[in-house]
Structure 1
């Protein structure tokens, strides 16, 4: 996502209109500020550009990704923990039904904090040593047994643990349970950061 939403205080919302054909990710950045040289940075979800706007996906993990593929009238959506978690999220379609006819478009979320199960070596901490997120084993350890990119990819012990807390989210690259939902006819999609 190349545009950046302004900082939002709690219980405030913004409305964004998307193109009829768009594919990309939405993510939250936390604890953002400018330094004395006006270099913009965030504790999590940082884009590494030093500016408010991102030119592509965040290079700094961990980050919770909300992935969308809009091909009007069909919208595919998922919550991804493949690159860890920096914030809890929810995607809630307003109306619509699944393309396969199996029912209404479901709510997909990860409303639990992975900090409850994050091992110490995967913890992301800020400059004060406080927990700000949980890395994926691949992004942190960079070992082949945790990093896979094809359809034969299997979950590791950490992605399995994350799935126990957030069973609607995808936790490793080939995770297709649940499938990436394909919805048609929804009026809009509500994205909630830090749902309660």
Structure 2
């Protein structure tokens, strides 16, 4: 009986350990745009797909996601989305080709602003960045909350690059006379290896910033502007949660600790609760622990 009791207790401790690692990081996605944004999510190779891969966020609405330990992937915002008479869902920018609101493993069609993460990487640090390598469609910031170590700072692109986009890179909506809704990368616009860092330009020594990438970098100094823009664009943090904000408004928002980007701490009534599976696991662990406590004679 004593060995049985000990086994139950060890099982309880093991389940608690597993539970603590199932959801290690919380992401809050906040839409401060004046229009609906449909976030898209793509998990990296070898990491689990999250509970959702796409949904709608109304203006000032937020959503929270619990993300597993050692997850990697990317977030982005889709705009001007609609469903046609046949039920096919598509977006003018950031479309993931799934024909549904859920991206279901589909990546973002450029041009699109990307927030990229590798959690619990080298040295136990999270690595994250906001990238304009695939172009730009939305202003976006990433703000770590409660993290330590590394270069644990806010990053992103708060500028509206659609209006300032060079004519050769602009994506127009509504044809001639329409408005600029996205800004292509030079690689996508021209396909030249020197802009794409491919072929003879596939190394940091041969692929240098172009006049186009320098425009992105001047407007958004902490965002990736081309493939080898690592030094000023990759950030690290340990044990942090993250707030991803679309269309941040620095003049109207609480500032982050470094005073440069909005912290976006406010969470609207639209915030989603923790997943039911997480709550179920927690209740199961508590039940096992209670049984172990009873068997131990308490």
How far residue 116 of structure 1 moved from its aligned partner, in angstroms, is 4.3
1:57 maps to: 107
1:10 maps to: 59
TM-score of the aligned structures, taking structure 1 as reference length: 0.90
- Secondary structure at the residue paired with 1:159? helix
TM-score of the aligned structures, taking structure 2 as reference length: 0.61
5+ unaligned residues in a row in structure 2: which ranges? Answer: 1-41, 43-48, 250-298
Verify the 8 A CA contact 1:62 1:136 in the aligned structure 2: yes
- Secondary structure at the residue paired with 1:84? coil
Verify the 8 A CA contact 2:171 2:182 in the aligned structure 1: yes
Rg larger in structure: 2
Greater percentage in strand: 1
1:124 maps to: 171
Matches of 1:35 and 1:13, distance apart in 2 = 26
1:140 matched to 2:189: yes
Greater percentage in helix: 2
What is the number of equivalent residue pairs in this alignment? Answer: 190
Verify the 8 A CA contact 2:162 2:182 in the aligned structure 1: yes
Aligned CA RMSD, in angstroms, stands at 1.6
Matches of 2:149 and 2:134, distance apart in 1 = 27
How far residue 192 of structure 1 moved from its aligned partner, in angstroms, is 0.4
Of 44, 48, 54, 2:97 maps to 48
Of 211, 215, 218, 1:157 maps to 211
Alpha-carbon deviations, 1:32-78, whole Å to 9, x = none? 111011111001000122122222321x2110000000127521110
5+ unaligned residues in a row in structure 1: which ranges? Answer: none
How far residue 136 of structure 1 moved from its aligned partner, in angstroms, is 0.2
1:53/1:43 Cα in 2 relative to 1: closer, same or farther (>3 Å)? same
